[in-house]
Amino acid sequence: MILPTLEEYSKKYQHIKFHREDGILQLTLHSDNADLVWGFAPHQELGYCFADIAADPENKVIIFTGSGETFIHKEDLGGGGVTAKIWAEHVLPDAKRLLTNLLEIQAPMIAAVNGPATVHAELALLCDIVLAADHTVFQDAPHYPSGLVPGDGVHVVWPMLLGLNRARYFLMTGQQLSAQEALNLGVVNEVMPQATLLDRAWALARIVQRRPALTTRLTREAMLMQVKRAMLEQLPYGLALEGLAACDFWPTQFAAENFAKK
């Protein structure tokens, strides 16, 4: 079996930077070396990237962060609509791959949330240790506040973290949680100035790496079992509901936006 190497897969992805030192791999999301703008391209790339990382035994601990002042805060879907065919053939499999491949990474993951995480914050929150810069806010902006069902994993992750009633309020009102509020609710583990965030992430990664390698990998596996089970049962159905809403709402929304620009 030929396993992927960092030298090979680090060149494949437009929106992800890689830096590995002593088995600790730092992934940094970006768009043209600045804050990531989320869209269909990074949505597709990241799922395949997670698969490459999972298959590389040289990755002992993962640090997951963003560029600039934000984790994922900006979004550009290209101003186009979506059909059931596009959703079924592209969006749905990419969304499933994104989360399932993240959960298949056995190396422990540390999220260093370097700023606002209002788009796909669940990617950071599925990590084993979650650190946040003190100017971070958490929100689920792209779904219910934007006319869509919160179906692509957020309907699984947020109820697990907040409890059902808090999660429904959070998702349906567009509530923003400050870094301190997220800490108080148990959503993140530590809050600190952005300037010290990555140093702390690397320090924790070295602590985690001191334990026996197999013990460390299997500990993450054990801790994620309930999350994997919930995703297996609920993710495809949530995505199907989200797709129905998107096919109904997005064509009208984009038509109105295009008309307003004329």
Per the listing, tokens 């959070």 go with: 170
| Exposure letters 179-194 (e unless 16+ CB within 10 A, then b) | beebbeeebbbebeeb
- d(C-alpha 171, C-alpha 149), whole Å: 9
Nearest to 130 by CA among 89, 209, 191: 191
122 is catalytic: yes
Report the 10 Å Cβ neighbour count for 34. 12
Count CA within 13 A, CB hemisphere, residue 174. Answer: 8
Selecting among 8, 104, 122, 181, the annotated active-site residue is 122
Phi, then psi, of 172 in degrees rounded to 5: -90, -15
Nearest to 171 by CA among 163, 230, 127: 163
**Residue 221 and residue 106 in contact, taking contact as beta carbons nearer than 8 Å:** yes
DSSP string, 92-115: HHHHHHHHHHHHT--S-EEEEE-S
Catalytically annotated residues: 122
